[in-house]
Amino acid sequence: MRLRAVITAAAFVAIAIGSFQPMYLRIFAMNGDVLRAAYTELPYRRIPGLRKLLVDASARMPSGATVALWVPFREWEGGYGYAFRRAPFLMPDKRVVPIDRVNDAQYLVCWHGCPRVIGFATIWRSPEGELMRR
Amino acid sequence: MIAAIITALLAIAAGLPFSRRLGEAYLLGVGIQAAILCILPWSRPIVIAAIILECGALAPLWLRRYESGSKLPHSIIDLATLGLIAGYARFATIASPTEIDYICIWGLKAEKFWVAHGIDWNFLAQPFNAFAHPDYPLLVPLAYDFQALVGGAWIDRWAGALSIGCGIAALLIIRSELRGWIGALAALILMPLVFSPYVGDAEGPLIAYSIAAILPLRRRENITRCAVFLGLAASCKNEGLTLIVAVAIALMISGAKQLVPKLWPAVAIPFPWLIISRLHHLRSDFAEGGLIGRIVEHVTNPAPMLQAMAAYSPGRVIFWIGLVVALAIGWRRVVGEERFLASVIALQLIAFIVAYVITPHDVSWHVRWSWERLVLQVTALTTFLAIVAARP
């Protein structure tokens, strides 16, 4: 019985150690502003500047506008999907369409500059990218 | 009114420990709030009026607490748990959730609905928005919208509040199941498992509703209320639907098949969404054509799935060693008095594997990005089982 109690205690200790999340204690000693900034960029880190570009561009379009997104990656799994899946969250009041439906779009947001697109003209530019309007 | 009546019924439910009533009231309240947004106009005054009604209905809970003299269970160990909860609260609300499923599914839908002031069927119907899994149930996005409506603004980082609330509710229910120091110890150990690290995703609410539904069912108590929580679990994620099946089969395995019909609310609650989503042609990716071919392929060649499960195994090795040892020590209880809980966990794990067998996606990719989250859904229940099985 005593051996069983010891093994049980050891098992409980192992479970507790294994499930413990030190982050929940460490976080009290961390700089909140730095952590907030890092977490804010974290989901968009593979395309630096994408978050800022989409937030800034969204502020320059009317609510309800249809906008296509251009990034220099054509394959869905090769980068385009990464950007496209994140865009609607950053522009919730816009209708974001993929680049192959650019004909439906009134606006075009391009990460790091737009290609020449017939019928669209640049209305705003930043270090992160460009916004074009039909 | 519906919210008020149901919450009042819950609050005055006889014989329940205070901590469980509190936890259950929160979880039921979240479900009711989501239901309110499906029925009532998305107007701040209306929503606040609904809250006032709900709070009024909650009054008996507090009165009863003083009448009965019941107290929240407490121990010195709980201070450590509270410290961890405070750390989690900071972690969960310091910034907008970083989880990709929040950005692409749960938070995105909530934002879209917030802008549209209702369910945005147009967004859900667009084929290029399939990544947002339009067929997923809506309790979690609507819970975020309720918060936004009450607050009068959409603030991303407050999505973490739902994860915190669900974690506390789940822990209170666990605490009511195990008294004394063992309950306090269980709460401390289980804290990181019920407070989902996937902040903003539906895992946190799903875990909490699962706990609220399944733990009381171990003793065949309050079947209807358990079934309601089971239905709310199914309104969080599709895994909640398989959980209903798992619970029904587990009841049969544990010799309580006569209780299965009493689970009807578990089916009735998610049923309207199942119908409405089908009417809007919102289909699960699992329903894509070539199902038989996929099953044959994955059953005849399970190596990629198993390799991915091994490569992306969830949690720390020491945790699983401790869990297996505890279950082995208490194996008599596992197959005896805790057979129901053990069966639910086993059946739900089988359901996860079946999902991989029928997946239309590359199975290695699918396992990589979901296995850890799925296992987390039953890890708290499994750990609870290990603790009750191995305890002196």
Those residues with Cβ within 8 angstroms of residue B148's Cβ, 6 or more apart along the chain or in another chain: B110, B114, B154, B155, B158
* Mean pLDDT, range B314-343, rounded to an integer: 94
Whether residue B321 lies inside any domain: the answer is: yes
Of B256, B283, B310, which closes a domain?
A: B283
3-state DSSP call for residue A104? helix
Q: What is the pLDDT, as a whole number, of residue B58?
A: 65
pLDDT at B64 over 70: no
Question: Going by C-beta distance under 8 Å and a sequence separation of 6 or more, which residues neighbour residue A6?
Answer: none
Domain boundary among B260, B283, B306: B283
User: pLDDT class for B286, splitting at 50, 70, 90?
Assistant: confident
Where are the alpha helices (H) located in B254-362, listed in sequence order? Answer: 264-268, 271-279, 291-300, 303-311, 317-329, 331-335, 339-358
Q: Are residues B233 and B247 in the same domain?
A: yes
Q: Is residue B85 part of a domain?
A: yes
Q: Which of A113-117, B42-46, B190-194, B219-223 has the highest mean pLDDT?
A: B190-194
Q: Does any domain span residue B48?
A: no
| A9 touching chain B per CB within 8 A | no
A 94-133 residues with CB < 8 A to B: 95, 97-98, 101
Q: What is the pLDDT of residue B1?
A: 46
Final residue in a domain of this structure, among B234, B264, B283:
B283
Whether residue B3 has pLDDT greater than 70: no
Domain membership of residue B299 as a residue range? 286-392
Say yes or no for a CB contact (<8 Å) between B115 and A7: no
The Cα–Cα gap between B107 and B113 comes to 10
Q: Residue B63: pLDDT band by 50, 70, 90 thresholds? A: low
B201 and B109 part of one domain: yes
Same-domain pairing of B323 and B389: yes
- Read off the pLDDT of residues B240-284 as tens digits, 9 standing for 90 and up: 999 999 999 999 999 999 999 999 999 999 999 999 999 988 888
Whether B25 is covered by a domain: the verdict is no
Same domain? For B175 and B254 the reply is yes
- Indicate if B258 and B187 belong to the same structural domain: yes
Q: Could you tell me if B220 and B267 lie in one domain?
A: yes
The answer to whether A55 faces chain B, any CB pair under 8 Å, is no
A interface mutation test: which of B93, B96, B317, B384 has the most A CBs within 10 A? B96
pLDDT over threshold 90, residue A26 = yes
Residue A79 pLDDT class (50, 70, 90 cuts): confident
CA distance B12 to chain A (A): 35
Does any domain span residue B43?
no
Assigned domain for B338 exists: yes
C-alpha distances in Å from residue B126, one per residue of A90, B104, B276, B385: 18, 14, 16, 43
Domain total in chain B: 2
* Residue B336 shares a structural domain with residue B189: no
Same domain (yes/no): B158, B291: no
- Shared domain for B125 and B271, answered yes or no, is yes
Nearest C-alpha of chain B: how many angstroms from A90? 9
Q: Measured between alpha carbons, how far is B291 from B184 in angstroms, rounded to an integer?
A: 47
* Binary contact (A23, B91; C-beta < 8 A): yes
Q: What is the pLDDT of residues A34-72, one digit of tens each?
A: 999 999 999 999 999 999 999 999 999 999 999 999 998
B211/B304 same-domain check: no
Considering the domain architecture, whether residues B242 and B229 belong to the same structural domain is answered as: yes
Residue B122 to chain A, least CA–CA distance (Å): 10
What are the structural domain ranges in chain A? 2-133
Nearest of B230, B242, B235 to residue B354 by alpha carbon: B242
Chain A interface mutation, best of B93, B101, B122, B126, highest count of A Cβ atoms under 10 Å: B126
Reported as a single tens digit per residue, the pLDDT across B359-392 is 888 889 999 989 999 999 999 999 999 999 998 7
**Which tokens is B159 given?**
């999505």
DSSP type of residue B286 = G
Instruction: Examine the domain organization and report whether B309 and B339 are in the same domain.
Output: yes
Residue B15 lies in a domain: no
B323 contact residues in A (CB cutoff 8 A): 11, 15, 18
